[in-house]
Structure formats: structure tokens, C-alpha cells
Structure 1
Amino acid sequence: MAKTAVIFRSEYGSTKRYATYIGEKLQADIFTTEEAKDISSYETIVFGGGIYASGLNGSDWLKKNQEALLHKKLILFTCGISDPQDEKNVENILNGVKKSLGEELMSHAKIFFFRGAMDYKRLKLTHKGMMKVLYEMIKRKKERTTEEEGILQTQKTPMDFVDVSQGEALISYVKE
């Protein structure tokens, strides 16, 4: 199998959980974006980042390494609280990632979508502010989706949707 690196940026641990699982299953080298300096010896790069305000965490690393990545098998995975079984959520995530990365990287990469976790009490001030705005918008709605109701619940109760076995499809794709 081609030499593979799993590179990730994780703020609260969900993306790291997926990256670690995927890396171990692939017997790949695992790096944070801060540790991943030289990717020239790798044929396959698996990159994971969380979704924040529709943007991909770590997109700065991807853009910085774009030229090298365009000559490798590139697999991205996102990690967020939105359910990727809902097509509208996937569409929104893809639009945000496309804005973060641009067309060239997007068209070169295979993308997978995973669910993360949310513990409002552990959020950094910036993320608390973003979530407060989102909570207020959802609270004002007369009709809410199940997902929106779930998002409101995260303000009171931590939610953990991480299921590392969801990474199996990505792992199979890398092995193809």
C-alpha cells in the first residue's frame, strides 16, 4: 500500500479521535497540522478538520501545501455536529469547504463527512459566541428541524455523536 499520512486539526478532540482511528487502521503516520512539515515522501494524504461557521478548520494548512497535495491522492474528512445523513447538511458543508479551499483542491479531493461532539462548557470564547448567535436564531423559529432541536440541547447537555467506525468507508477508499 502507498505510504500514507493522516494529518488533522482538532480543537476539542472529535477530529483527533477519527484521525487516530483511521491512521491506526491504515498503519499510517499521524500528524497534527503543526507537526506536518514535509509531506514529500507520502503518496496519500488523509486530512481531517472540524467544521466551524461552515469553514474547514485547517484549511490554511491545505492551501499552504496545495501544490504538493495536487500531486497526491488526497482524502478529506470533516467533523461537525450536523448529521451527514441529511443531504441539505452535506450541501451546506460542501459549500463552506469550497469557500475555504477553492475549486482546484475541492475537485482533486475525495471528501467524507463525520459527526463530532459538542460540549458548550468546553468551547472557546469565539466558538461560544458563534453558537450563541446560532442558538438565538434557532430559538426564534416557529418550526424547527430535529437537528435544530438537537443543537439547542447542546447548550445544556453535552452531545457526542462520534462513531469512529464511520471511518471504515474512508479506509476502504484509501486501500483501493
Structure 2
Amino acid sequence: MDGLIVYGSKYGTTRRYAEELSRLTGLSAIPCREFRGLAEGHILVYLGALYAGGVLGLKQTMKGLSLREGRRLIVATVGLADPAEPQERAHIRAALQKQLPPEFLERTVLFHLRGGIDYAVLSPRHRAMMAAMCFSLRRKPARQRSAEDQALLETYGKQIDFTDLSALAPIVGEILRATK
């Protein structure tokens, strides 16, 4: 196969997905900070952690990249919230629209994976952001909270991991289709 897996991971969940995808496909996986461009590869798979309304490292990775004829872009987001929820998918889509040029977004195959969180290892900034989010959610009447809101409140301060490496199967399938 001719391509590359690039990932943006802060705490390791996205890296785990990228390394497993590399193992399953034979494509090399590198952190986004090491990405210098796509040489002859005709497929770029980007896995990025969702943080504060954005996909970690995606915008920087896309700088200077062209999707010439035959090149494919696959983007998989990794987040704590359940991407099966329509509201979450809408938030992810809005974040991607801010980070990808329209011509890229329309030619990109999107996937969404669940990640995890371990409050014990969060940076002070991320810990403060999560505390502010939970404070805001607690002020909401319980009947107005979504299931995701409630789950966030119930798991606040704990370690939770929704990583499911079997969820990579559709991405592997797409990579195999793209490289034929």
C-alpha cells in the first residue's frame, strides 16, 4: 500500500488507534508534528483527538497539502463523547469545517472513534476546561441534560476508556478500497 497514517494525540488514545491501524494495514504511522508532506503516497489517513472544538493537529497537517487526482484523504476523529449521537456528529462536523478547506472536506471520508479520559494525567489547562464544563452542566436543569452531559458528570474526575480497536475495521476497509 502506498500511503501514510498521521495522528494528533495528546494523552495516547489516538496514538493507540494509529499504531493498531498501522499494524493492520502496513502503513507507517507518525505523529503530526513529524509530518512534512506526502511524497508519492496516494492516501493520507489522519487520526486526531478532539479538543475544545477542534481536531488536534489537523489544520497544520493540511497546510500545503494538495489532493491531486487519485489522492485520498481519510480523517478519523477520536473523542470522549459518543459519535453515534447526532448532536455530537454535528459538533464534530462544525469543527472539521473550520479546519479543512471545503474542497478537502467534500473529498474526505470521515470516521469517528471513541476515546477516553484519565483526569489524573490531564494538563492543568485541560483539567480546568473540564471543571468549567462540568460546572456549567451542573447548573443546567437535569431534564435539559443530554445523556452525554449526564455521563460526563458521572465520570468527572475518574478514568474512563471507551477505546474499541475493532472499530478500526471500516477504516481498514476504506484504506483497502482506496489502494486498489
Q: Do Structure 1 and Structure 2 share a fold, with TM-score over 0.5? A: yes
Residue 165 and residue 65 in structure 1: after superposition, are their counterparts in 2 closer, same or farther (change >3 A)?
A: farther
Partner of 2:174: 173
The whole-number CA distance in structure 2 between the counterparts of 1:126 and 1:96 is 20
The whole-number CA distance in structure 1 between the counterparts of 2:123 and 2:170 is 32
- On the 8 A contact 1:118/1:154 being kept in 2, the answer is no
Q: Which moved more, 1:150-159 or 1:84-93?
A: 150-159
Please give the per-residue CA displacement for 1:4-28, whole angstroms capped at 9, x wherever unaligned. Answer: 2111010011101111111111111
The whole-number CA distance in structure 2 between the counterparts of 1:156 and 1:51 is 19
The whole-number CA distance in structure 2 between the counterparts of 1:173 and 1:138 is 37
Partner of 1:158: 159
Cα root mean square deviation, aligned: 1.4
**TM-superposed deviation, 1:61:** 2.5
**TM-superposed deviation, 1:123:** 1.1
The whole-number CA distance in structure 2 between the counterparts of 1:107 and 1:129 is 35
**TM-superposed deviation, 1:96:** 1.1
Q: Which moved more, 1:37-46 or 1:78-87?
A: 37-46
Spell out the pairing of 1:25-40 with structure 2 (5 A cutoff).
25-40=24-39
Partner of 1:22: 21
Instruction: Tell me the matched-pair count.
Output: 173
Partner of 1:148: 149
- On the 8 A contact 2:46/2:58 being kept in 1, the answer is no
SS at match of 2:163: coil
Could you tell me which runs of 5 or more consecutive residues in structure 2 were left unpaired when the two chains were aligned: none
List structure 1 runs of 4+ shifted beyond 6 angstroms.
none
Partner of 1:56: 55
The whole-number CA distance in structure 1 between the counterparts of 2:59 and 2:135 is 30
